[in-house]
A and B are shown apart, each in its own frame.
Chain A
Amino acid sequence: MAVAPGWWRRAWDHDLAWSFRHSPVTIVAALLTLACFGAAIFAPWLAPHDPFDLASLNLGDAFAPPAWSAGGQARFPLGTDDQGRDVLSTIMHGARISLGVGLAAVAFSALLGVSLGLLSGYVGGRLDAFIMRVADIQLSFPAILIALLVDGVARVALPRETHDSIAIPVLIFSIGISGWVQYARTVRGSTLVEKNREYVQAARVIGRSRFAIMLHHVLPNVMGPVLVIGTIHVGTAIITEATLSFLGVGLPPTQPSLGTLIRVGNDFLFSGEWWITVFPGLALIVLVLSVNLLGDWLRDALNPKLR
């Protein structure tokens, strides 16, 4: 369909756009999120150095302080780490991995949670009872514990030499599996409401299958809250990944995420090289905070009771 003239005008006048324009905090958060995403996605082209190119690394550059302090070099704005890698470049590459793992884990969680919630709510009966009891049991454990458990099991089950190469999929799976319950519960609740509405009955009278009704009729009407949960979950997933990496069960130093960088830098904190751990930490805070602020705004803007 051709875009109707004035679509920009209509988008500008939309409730969401209005609420966005009238919330300075959200605008700042959106700009910061954009900056983080941009820096992460375009890291290979934007970063001043390539921290993974062993040929360009020089141990002589190791432990250079940030550019503005005594002994700092303009080549390394935020200083270098123990191997002479530029901290700014490692942060940009690390954020790329953190974001990638976070987004993929959220997508996996949402896919699993929405499917199970939809099935649970629409089919009901024993299947519903089973899925919801599993969800209850999982909720009684902290998400980080589930992720640790899954990660630990995967490490034992898989051969040692594959650990580094499959670290990212394992991490995505373990973070994703620890977060599906929220989606499933929300979607199940909305599905229970929607399935008794007359448009679903109309589709049943037409003779559509359960699967078609779930997919085409119920799903589009229960996706609103999922968007909000998903946005807020991105921040949580990034934090979980950083925690796992900090504990040493996440990504290896050869593929450092922000959490790995903080862990590695942590060893030098007491010997005075504070910049190696503080700047990745700050980057993590800015990234998660801005994503969370965006998510909070979206939740409030889409909640008719708060208007």
Chain B
Amino acid sequence: MDRDNLPLLRVLEVSRDFDVSRPWLNRLLEGTQRQLLRAVDGVSLAVNRGETLALVGESGCGKSTVARLIVGLHAASQGRIEFDGIDLAAPGAQALRRRMQMIFQDPYASLNPRWRVRDIVAEPIRVLKLAASEHEVAARVAELLRQVGLVAEDGEKYPHEFSGGQRQRISIARALSGNPEFLVCDEPTSALDVSVQAQILNLMTDLQRGLGLTYLFISHNLAVVSHIADRVGVMYLGRLVELANAEDLFVQPLHPYTRMLLDAIPDLEMSGKARTPVAGEVPNPLDPPAGCAFHPRCPHANARCRRERPQVIVQGDAVVACHAVEERRL
């Protein structure tokens, strides 16, 4: 198969455990065991070149952990991640990481407050040695700042002189300065005002078109996701429950959890119409329910759902992990 038709990024059965046990001495005295929290549980997905894949879910569902696993801020406990067909954990694969960058959630924490903007944006250029001279670095920084809608003179300022939206533009400029092909965006707009969110999203779509970028877009905001995503993955308690094209998912969601999420979107035209409220709480991830993780909140759950963990099944263009869908009860 042609290399260009392969997905740019493949995540294969990846899990990540965090050790949340008490300190060693407490465990010894209290006689408790080590405690592991499985933040990501057997997630598989593929991101194609030039597309935007969005991951959505409630807080604590593991979507940010997936982002951090991909860029290498965490190591996977199980499974592997392939970039351009090469295992990222393989020796010598560090060079591949240069081709991906990350945009963070909080524009107030993601820029070093003691650095000038020009140094922040230039850091990847200097570290990856992408420019021959300081003069070239300065020219590239000015170009990047203009590209994200700032002016070259802004480089002399410090981050605290900018608003949240402008800071996020600086973050994007920094991410772009290493010439990446793949950007992991961890809730890049959730700390911003609604009006600024739209500007940043438009900037990101323009950049994607102009530079041929591939995005993995993490968000809990379905309105934002419907605006930017080509395909959408829905996560629940560390598991991927549904992955489908954005149009299909928003029109005809398969998994009961996805339906519940979509029902929760406020819609001015639907005022007065009866809606299914989001019922129940997310279970404690330290002690996930047996079988399907969603069964305590699911209106369609039966004995099999409580017992047996659903496998991912292909349903047209979509994949979904649900017994009810598989049994055509839904």
Residues of A within 8 A of B (CB): 197-199, 201-208, 217, 220-221
Contacts and interface: CB of A to CB of B under 8 A. Distances in A.
Interface in B178-208: 178
Nearest to A217: B112
Contact of B73 (A204, A220, A221): A204
A206 B72 CA distance: 10
Given A199-B112, A220-B114, A221-B113, A207 B106 contact: no
Contacts of A198: 104-106, 109-110
Task: List the 5 closest A-B pairs by CB distance, nearest first.
Answer: A198-B110, A220-B114, A198-B104, A199-B112, A198-B109
Nearest to A223: B114
B174 A202 contact: yes
26 contacts: A197-B110, A198-B110, A199-B109, A199-B110, A199-B111, A201-B73, A201-B102, A201-B104, A202-B110, A202-B171, A202-B174, A203-B123, A204-B72, A204-B73, A205-B71, A205-B100, A205-B102, A206-B123, A206-B124, A206-B178, A207-B94, A207-B97, A207-B127, A220-B112, A221-B113, A221-B114
Interface residues of B, number: 26
Contact of B72 (A202, A203, A205): A205
Contact of A206 (B94, B109, B127): B127
The secondary structure that dominates the A interface is helix
Interface string B93-105: 0100110111011
Q: Is the interface of B mostly helix, strand, loop or mixed?
A: loop
A127 to B, nearest CB: 16
B138 to A, nearest CB: 13
Nearest to B125: A206
A202 B105 CA distance: 11
B115 to A, nearest CB: 8
Contacts of A206: 101, 123-124, 127-128, 178
Nearest to B113: A221
A103 B124 CA distance: 39
Contacts of B113: 221
Contacts of A203: 112, 123
A207 B73 contact: no
A254 to B, nearest CB: 46
A197 B178 CA distance: 21
A55 B94 CA distance: 72
Contacts of A197: 109-110
A203 B111 CA distance: 10
Interface string B118-159: 000001100110000000000000000000000000000000
